[in-house]
Amino acid sequence: MKISEILTEDLISVGLEVNDKDDCINKMIDIAARSGKIIDKEKVVECVFEREKLVSTGVGKGFAIPHGKTDEISDVTASFAILKDPIDFDSIDSEPVKFVFLLVGKDSLLNTHIKLLSRISRIMNNDKFRDKLDEAKTSKEVLELFQKEEENYQDI
């Protein structure tokens, strides 16, 4: 499964305005709900915030990957945002976050969830890729950047 198979233009927000980390996660879930794959939104909110309580998903370099697993979705869903203004996300490097990738997987597809998290992390760890994202002005540009970058990775 590729990122570009679960991410579509309507699940991407460029210039998303958020107040703080919690507001950001809630807005990311709202965006992911556009996929039509969320059965019980409250359960999705619960699983993502429960995971966030364990340890921050602010993984460094201005990037966060809030995620969770629940069977209250019909299939893996996601959303991606470039924030208008970076926010504190309790990141491991204490740097503010500008790029947020929400991933919600099914409990029954743990292997797929882990592989997608790994792929997202590898791609977002690429400084040149993040620089290109920073210049993107539209959801279409962002999606095309992910599609092009994924050509460098084997399918999972």
| Closest listed residue to residue 45, CA positions, set 53, 82, 4, 8 | 53
Query: What are the angstrom distances between the C-alpha of 19 and each of 38, 87, 88?
Result: 24, 8, 10
Domains in the chain (CATH in brackets) are 3-150 (3.40.930.10)
Per-residue pLDDT of the chain (156 residues; tens, 9 = 90+): 889 899 999 999 999 999 999 999 999 999 999 999 999 999 999 999 999 999 999 999 999 999 999 999 999 999 999 999 999 999 999 999 999 999 999 988 878 889 999 999 999 999 999 999 999 999 999 999 999 999 877 654
Query: Which residues are CB-neighbours of 115 under 8 A, at least 6 positions away?
Result: 1, 156
CA distance 18 to 16: 6
- Write out pLDDT tens, residues 13-49: 999 999 999 999 999 999 999 999 999 999 999 999 9
- The predicted model scores a pTM of 0.94
